[in-house]
Amino acid sequence: MRARRETLPSGLTLVAEPHPGSEVVAIQGWVHAGAGAESVGELGCAHMLEHMLFRGTRRLDDGEVQRRVADAGGRVNAWTTFDDTVVELLVPRASAGAALGWMAELLRDARFDPALLEVEKDVVAHEIRGAEASPGSVARAALVGALFRGSRLAEGVRGTVEAVEALDVGALERFYRRASRPDNTTVVMVGGLDLDEAQEGAARAFGGWRRPTLALDLPTPPAPTPEPEVACLAGVGEGFSLAWSVPGASDADHLRCGLLRDALADRGASPLAGLLQAGALDLGVRYEASRRFGLLTITVATAPGRAAPLLGAALMLLDDLRERGPAAGLTRALRERAWVRACLEGEAHAGRARALGRAARASEASNVDPDAALERLAATSRSDLRAVARRCLRRRPAILVRGARPEPATLAEVVALTRPAPASTRARLAPQRDVTTRAVGDDLVVVV
């Protein structure tokens, strides 16, 4: 049965999808304001809110929601993205009504105790320091910072240690009241439920939640830097990474961008597979889709001294993919694999609820309906995938070279491949315009 979508008088959106015979219900509360909704002085508030929601409400003590869910045999989860702050309660069918009340407490009546905030600040600061110690996280932060220079996205969802340590109850309370409001929230229920009972239960649980009189004001999504810098970063392994700003989850090409990622990552048919034969040690491709923007990254590990020449080869191979599209026969195989993955995710109630929650914010567009999106995926042809490759790879990428610094002239020649040029010129790796370099700490940044 297809999901039913209702909007309560307060503006709260309820999405319910019954799975007859199931004894489990997944309930997710989607506050459509994540790290990207933070204003000046609120860096790190969204992720901190995720932590603090379970530390007590006006009627429930610290940890009480977790205890009640556990006593019922269920479990809790929460996560923060650039777009959303999400709470999940997975409970037996008999506890679904009570769980709706607990969800309402979290989304409407959270209480922020200063002493508990200090405890969670230490926890989050530890998470951030752990990420900063990871070479992969350091490299990704540098890459995203080059692509979205000066935007909130460059700081990561958690923010910085300094920003987190400076947070106080007042800032968190202001962010909570501005973001967690009924006209900016979707409650998703999937599992063993009756549609009418689900709607009535949600109306009871959230009936006292009033829509604020002030209009909702959230920041616009980040725009990629028109001419991203090319950075060299030592101490995070040998190799290089490329990143493009690409369509996000509310775009009609969302799932086809996922197919492009799979085409690039396929060890047998990817145009980049030749890099492994030419000396690359490992190849990774990732597509991250926020609602209003996406990020496509390619990461290649190399032996010492091989990053620059293999980077040049990768750029030429990507140029060929952009012009010719994927290998014949690959599109069908990729399409079938992606379909199976999406169906397997939808088999689990929590996974299906995630798909519905992601789609809810922009559901006026048919392309973000999860079922309609799968139908579009199934119809993808090789020419469709070539069009997506041209759309995603047409911009100049942000480039990060890791490990030993190439000579500036060598790197400049490679950078020239990121701009349109005749094939003969590309083959010679000839620079297309003047190049300057500047030092930033121990790193060398090449600005072209």
The predicted model gives 305-326 an average pLDDT of 87
The predicted model gives 278-292 an average pLDDT of 88
Per the domain annotation, does 211 fall within a domain? no
Contacts of 130 (CB under 8 A, 6+ apart): none
CATH number, domain at 429?
3.30.830.10
Residue 371 and residue 239 in one domain: yes
pLDDT reading at 434 higher than 70: no
Supply the pLDDT for residue 410: 66
Place of tokens 């995710």: 345
Cα distance between residue 338 and residue 376, in whole Å: 12
Cα distance between residue 384 and residue 334, in whole Å: 13
Residue 351 and residue 275 in one domain: yes
Q: Dmax of the chain from CA atoms?
A: 72
Cα distance between residue 3 and residue 328, in whole Å: 37
The predicted model gives 309-336 an average pLDDT of 85
Residue 252 and residue 320 in one domain: yes
Domain count, the chain: 2
pLDDT reading at 204 higher than 90: yes
Q: Could you give the percent of the chain with pLDDT greater than 90?
A: 44
Per the domain annotation, does 219 fall within a domain? no
Supply the pLDDT for residue 419: 55
Strand ranges of the sheet holding 185-191, from the earlier edge strand across to the other edge: 4-7, 13-18, 185-191, 24-31, 85-92, 75-80
Per the domain annotation, does 37 fall within a domain? yes
Residue 384 and residue 305 in one domain: yes
- At residue 346, the 3 state secondary structure works out as helix
Supply the pLDDT for residue 278: 82
Cα distance between residue 209 and residue 405, in whole Å: 57
Both tokens of 386, joined, read: 């070539």
Residue 179 and residue 276 in one domain: no
Residue 246 and residue 186 in one domain: no
Place of tokens 């409407």: 108
Strands (E), 239-326: 239-246, 280-289, 294-302
| More reliable by pLDDT, 260 or 376 | 260
Q: Average model confidence (pLDDT) for the chain?
A: 83
Q: What's the CA dihedral at 143, 146, 151, 153 to 10 degrees?
A: -10
Instruction: Lowest mean pLDDT of 27-31, 131-135, 225-229, name the range.
Output: 225-229
End residue of a domain, out of 206, 239, 273: 206
Per the domain annotation, does 216 fall within a domain? no
| More reliable by pLDDT, 343 or 96 | 96
pLDDT reading at 227 higher than 80: no
What separation in angstroms does the CA of 133 have from each of 129, 212, 235?
6, 42, 11
pLDDT reading at 1 higher than 90: no
pLDDT reading at 359 higher than 50: yes
| More reliable by pLDDT, 155 or 414 | 155
- At residue 393, the 3 state secondary structure works out as helix
The predicted model gives 185-211 an average pLDDT of 93
| Neighbouring C-beta atoms of residue 82, cutoff 10 Å | 23
The predicted model gives 230-246 an average pLDDT of 81
End residue of a domain, out of 141, 174, 206: 206
Residue 196 and residue 324 in one domain: no
| More reliable by pLDDT, 154 or 15 | 15
| More reliable by pLDDT, 223 or 274 | 274
Residue 361 and residue 405 in one domain: yes
Supply the pLDDT for residue 366: 38
Express each pLDDT in 118-156 by its tens digit.
Answer: 999 999 999 999 988 777 777 778 888 778 877 777 788
Per the domain annotation, does 241 fall within a domain? yes
Express each pLDDT in 160-197 by its tens digit.
Answer: 999 999 999 999 999 999 999 999 999 999 999 999 99
Per the domain annotation, does 187 fall within a domain? yes
**Bridge pairing between strands 294-302 and 24-31:** unpaired
Per the domain annotation, does 184 fall within a domain? yes
pLDDT reading at 283 higher than 80: yes
| More reliable by pLDDT, 140 or 433 | 140
Cα distance between residue 403 and residue 410, in whole Å: 15
Residue 252 and residue 150 in one domain: no
- Out of 50-64, 142-156, 203-217, 412-426, the most confident range is 50-64
Supply the pLDDT for residue 427: 39
The predicted model gives 71-85 an average pLDDT of 95
CA distance from start to end of the chain: 55
Nearest C-alpha neighbor of 346 from the set 333, 355, 358, 359: 355
End residue of a domain, out of 206, 240, 273: 206
pLDDT reading at 203 higher than 50: yes
Alpha-carbon torsion 65, 68, 71, 74, what sign?
negative
CB neighbour class for 147 (10 Å; exposed up to 12, middle 13-18, buried from 19):
buried
pLDDT reading at 244 higher than 60: yes
Supply the pLDDT for residue 430: 32
The per-residue b/e assignment along 374-400, b for 16 or more CB within 10 angstroms, e otherwise, is: bebbeebebebbbebbebbbebbbbbb
pLDDT reading at 368 higher than 80: no
Residue 49 and residue 148 in one domain: yes
What residue numbers bound the domain in which 422 lies? 230-447
